[in-house]
Amino acid sequence: MSATEKPARRALVTGGSGDLGGAVCLRLAAQGWRTIVHANSGLDRAEAVAARIREAGGAAEAVAFDVADGEAARAAIEGLLEAGPIQCVVNNAGIHDDAPMAGMSQAQWKRVIDVSLHGFFHVTQPLLLPMARTRFGRIVSVSSVAAVLGNRGQTNYAAAKAALHGASRSLAREMASRGITVNVVAPGVIEGRMAEQAFPPEAIKQMVPAARAGRADEVAALVGFLCSDEAGYINGQVIGINGGMG
């Protein structure tokens, strides 16, 4: 590295080994971020995404920990911070465990909220002060149209994701003076294993004004823009990407 060349900024993407998370990782790496691909337990899948990034000329590494486990997450984050600040975090980790609330177990309720909401805190909180010292940061959380419109069988998922909206708007106010933006993207029906299992093609045509599912790369493009220098004045926003659903 030359004396004038800056080291690459580092980005952490939770749930980076999945369909959407993988697309986000590839996008950020293409924009020049040194990307940390996170998985819950399947480190091999995260390693595969990191390998694709490296093959394309980018820089990436893989890491695995449970975002719902506060101690494990903090230990992993502290280890990553030994190499320097992480100036971008995309909170993409989330799970479904659907049921009508009348028949929902306490375990179903708590686990979904543990991953999406408590995971947001466990991962983001330790990154804030090192990020603030650099006077630049990008925090993007992936929510869902279910958090905006509601969806039958997903009171737990909608509650967890809607909580990210309030948390992100509040955190944006806390960190804006340090050059840090905090935003949320709320996708609708996006192509991938989850959509294929939940929605037949005919149902998608009826539900979505655009008459199709979105693509992971379309969501990744929005996330990539929010993480760019050009998006520095977009802060505390929840941005839908749902083909016109609402």
User: Catalytic amino acids?
Assistant: 157
Give the three-state DSSP class for 35: strand
Residue 52, classified by CB atoms within 10 Å of its CB into exposed (0-12), middle (13-18) or buried (19+), is middle
Task: Tell me how many degrees the CA angle 213-219-223 measures, rounded to the nearest 5.
Answer: 170
To the nearest 10°, report the CA torsion of 70, 51, 88, 4.
130
Residue 233, classified by CB atoms within 10 Å of its CB into exposed (0-12), middle (13-18) or buried (19+), is exposed
Instruction: Tell me the two tokens of residue 32.
Output: 């020049």
Bridge partners of 13? 37, 90
